[in-house]
Amino acid sequence: MSLKFFDKLSQNLVELLNDGYDCNIVLLLENIQPNENNIKIITKPSISSKIFDVILKYIYGGIVNLEKVETRFIFDLMLMANEFELTELSNELETILIEDKASWLKTHFSLVYRSIFVKENFKNLESFCNDIVVKYPNLIFDKNIQPNENNIKIITKPSISSKIFDVILKYIYGGIVNLEKVETRFIFDLMLMANEFELTELSNELETILIEDKASWLKTHFSLVYRSIFVKENFKNLESFCNDIVVKYPNLIFDSSDFTSLPESALLSLLKRDDLQMKEVEIWDYVIKWGIAQNSTPPTNLGDWTKENFSTLKTTLQHCLPHIRYFHITIIEIYDKIRPYKKILDKQLWEDINQHLAAPDRPIKSIILPARSVVNTELPPRTTKPFSTIISEEHAAEISSWIDRKIVTYSTANIPYNFELILRGTRDGFAPQTFWNICHGHVCTIVVAKVKGTDEIIGGYNPLAWDNTLDGNSNKWMEAKGSFIFSLKNGSIQNSILSRVKNTKSAILQVGKNNQKYFGPYFGYGFSLYSEKSNLNLDSLSCCDNCYVFYEKRVKTSSDRFSIDNYEVFKVLRKS
């Protein structure tokens, strides 16, 4: 692209630049004072020779050649043209950037925004940028950040990953967030960072996705989730989701090793719950434990505590203490647990507690909170819940025998392994990507699948770790000497079939990230789950034809492709 300004010049003098003679260059600059020789001098030591050459050719010939130059060069040329008061050139370059290079301006928004306000000569660019800022003010402004000398507020987030920041920029400029082929942890981290940038709409949408579609991940990574969402109290739905779990299983938090590092807001949210399934005196004990841990360690012996120790604890727990249900604690528990810490309670409350114990029908001044609705702890007669919806104890004994290469099958009373469920299709979904997300890193796993429309149960054993980190479209065969595939006796299927790996170098397929939405677990071609609809339960593309004889023999009578009703993945752990 070339810009021609001949009509604004008396003649084309560009040839002077190429004639081999030295020439004095005089630029008429209105805002620069002349020296004693009445010559205005401007010094720009930082100007590049390439930009200065373009400026000279513009001055002498009215030509600016922008072919094969990067957009950053055009931007820098515009700034330098402005420095030399070449208004016509500066304005023309400004127009080119806005009309033809808008995507570059947005991608380099911070650089552009800070450069154009140094000298206020770029009104069109200022309007272009401010149109973005008024729509997404959090890109520049933050109510807790003070402006610098140029009245610009800068947000510094050194810990943000480039991938997350790229998604945030695309959301700001295009309103699009692509979450295909990303792990759930990425969605969670993106939600946290969107909250940091006060992108409420994005943060709320990601919060909903996690709760509605990624509940199993939230439960698996409960401790991380619980502590993260209470740092800033903007995730009310996630708070409710987590607290609904904690009130039923309080040991998840209260018995955790890092309980005392729990944010106060998280602890308060639990103390306010009427359905927290704990005895009130136990709640009191944990609150005291948490409060003590927030300060420098006081004397171990409570008798050695000073007035200052009690005062400090009272201040620390000032928001927690009002939520204890004191009037639903027994007299013995009051005497043993509450009385030693009576100095952290208000005088009126302690008097009311004692009066209520002596005369419960008399009115008191303190507020009596309702008792917590603890469910009946008397359990019904124990029933053994099946560990699997596909295989039986007898199947587990048979598979265990194959793992240990035993000729005689173990009895169900002597199974040496625990089968720990990792994934179940009917619980976690049938998307192949779910398999790679959940099973990543797990070693010594059994995969079993129930073939749709038949009694067939087929599966495989992988002694290696499943790995979802392989980039791109490439898949990679993994060597595994102990791998095997099988079909199990079930219904009309009279006998089980065992087929050990034959080509050990092609036992297990490690699938590239771009293919994980199609490929599930792949045991050679002897047993593989596959779907082009990203749902193993919908199309019939899984196979057991063993076409390349990577395993000893076929485990399925028919070589036809099939769909599945359900599948499960177990981690096999030797019993201690």
Whole-prediction pTM: 0.41
Check: CB of residue 395 under 8 Å from CB of residue 303. no
User: Is beta strand 484-488 parallel, antiparallel or unpaired with respect to 497-500?
Assistant: antiparallel
C-alpha span between 319 and 317 (Å, rounded): 5
Which pLDDT value is given to residue 135?
A: 64
Share of the chain above pLDDT 90, in %: 47
Check: CB of residue 445 under 8 Å from CB of residue 572. yes
Integer distance in angstroms from the first to the last C-alpha of the chain?
76
Which pLDDT value is given to residue 420?
A: 94
What are the C-alpha distances in Å from 490 to residues 35, 106, 546, 566? 102, 62, 22, 15
Residues 6+ apart with CB under 8 A from 74: 66, 93, 96, 97, 101
- Which two structure tokens, joined as six digits, stand for 120? 């206020």
C-alpha span between 270 and 265 (Å, rounded): 9
C-alpha span between 217 and 172 (Å, rounded): 27
Which pLDDT value is given to residue 252?
A: 83
Over the stretch 279-338, which tens digit does the pLDDT of each residue have? 999 999 999 999 999 987 788 888 899 999 999 999 999 999 999 999 999 999 999 999
Over the stretch 483-519, which tens digit does the pLDDT of each residue have? 999 999 988 888 999 999 999 999 999 999 999 999 9
C-alpha span between 461 and 572 (Å, rounded): 9
Residues 6+ apart with CB under 8 A from 544: 458, 485, 526, 527, 528, 554, 555, 556, 559, 562
> Which residue, among 56, 55, 62, has the nearest Cα to 78 in the 3D structure?
55
Which pLDDT value is given to residue 224?
A: 84
Check: CB of residue 261 under 8 Å from CB of residue 227. yes
Check: CB of residue 137 under 8 Å from CB of residue 145. no
Written as one string, the DSSP assignment of 243-257 is HHHHTTSTHHHHTST
Question: Please, which residues bridge with residue 567 across strands?
Answer: 449
Q: In terms of pLDDT, which residue wins out, 405 or 48?
A: 405
C-alpha span between 289 and 294 (Å, rounded): 9
* SS3 of residue 568 by DSSP: strand
Which pLDDT value is given to residue 38?
A: 64
Mean local confidence (pLDDT), 148-160:
64
What are the C-alpha distances in Å from 189 to residues 94, 165, 181, 206? 38, 11, 15, 10
Please give the radius of gyration of the chain, using alpha carbons only, rounded to the nearest integer. Answer: 36
Share of the chain above pLDDT 70, in %: 85
Which of 82-86, 116-120, 122-126, 326-330 shows the highest mean pLDDT?
326-330
pLDDT at 354 over 90: yes
The amino acid occupying position 41 is: I
pLDDT at 156 over 70: no
Mean local confidence (pLDDT), 133-149:
57
Which pLDDT value is given to residue 514?
A: 92
The pLDDT-based confidence of 227 (bands split at 50, 70, 90) is confident
> Which residue, among 177, 91, 178, 98, has the nearest Cα to 132 in the 3D structure?
98
Over the stretch 372-423, which tens digit does the pLDDT of each residue have? 887 654 545 555 578 899 999 999 999 999 999 998 899 988 999 999 999 9
Over the stretch 61-99, which tens digit does the pLDDT of each residue have? 888 888 888 999 999 999 999 888 899 999 999 999 999
The pLDDT-based confidence of 520 (bands split at 50, 70, 90) is very high
> Which residue, among 233, 234, 259, has the nearest Cα to 246 in the 3D structure?
259
What average pLDDT is seen over the chain? Answer: 85
The pLDDT-based confidence of 34 (bands split at 50, 70, 90) is low
Which pLDDT value is given to residue 7?
A: 46
Phi, psi of 276 (to 5 degrees): -65, 120
Check: CB of residue 397 under 8 Å from CB of residue 410. yes
The torsion of the CA quartet 394, 399, 401, 403, rounded to 10 degrees, works out to -160
Question: Please, which residues bridge with residue 490 across strands?
Answer: 493
User: Is beta strand 445-451 parallel, antiparallel or unpaired with respect to 457-462?
Assistant: antiparallel
Which pLDDT value is given to residue 35?
A: 65
Residues 6+ apart with CB under 8 A from 81: 55, 58, 89, 90, 93
